[in-house]
Amino acid sequence: MADARIQSFAEFWPYYIGEHRSPVGRGLHYFGTTLAVLTGITAAVTSTGWLVPVALVLGYGPAWVAHFFIEHNRPATFEYPLWSLLSDFKMLGLALRGRMGDEMVRLYGSRAPDREAPLLARR
């Protein structure tokens, strides 16, 4: 039987965070998201359309490297593209406010939980 599909963002967020347990992996996500946003803004301000696909590569490239070579899991983007994008921004926002480590502790008991660490809180 296939795993049940996640039905809400509130349910997705702990799953997403569980796929981003490594601080280095999260750092690559922050780097990629920041590059993508800056490139997207540049594309909009300068009306340079060819920068849009560049922004996508800059955003997803570092994140996918993190998943395949550090986290050893499949990016949630493939199954939940919108929620993954929203979660990237939420994760970056928490990091910029110095609260991402606290969120990891709340959900998984450590700032860099082991892959087998169970989910402690649902919301």
pLDDT tens sequence across 10-58: 999 999 999 999 999 999 999 999 999 999 999 999 999 999 999 999 9
Burial 82-118 (b: 16+ CB within 10 A, else e): ebbeebbebbbebbeeeebeebbeebbeeeebeeeee
> Picking from 3-7, 91-95, 116-120, which range would have the lowest pLDDT averaged per residue?
3-7
- Grouping H, G, I as helix, E, B as strand and the rest as coil, residue 36 is helix
Average model confidence (pLDDT) across the chain: 94
- Phi, then psi, of 44 in degrees rounded to 5: -70, -45
Q: How confident is the model at residue 123 (pLDDT cuts 50, 70, 90)?
A: low
Q: Per-residue pLDDT averaged across 86-98, rounded?
A: 97
- Phi, then psi, of 29 in degrees rounded to 5: -65, -45
> pLDDT at position 83, please?
96
- Amino acid 105 reads V
> pLDDT at position 101, please?
95
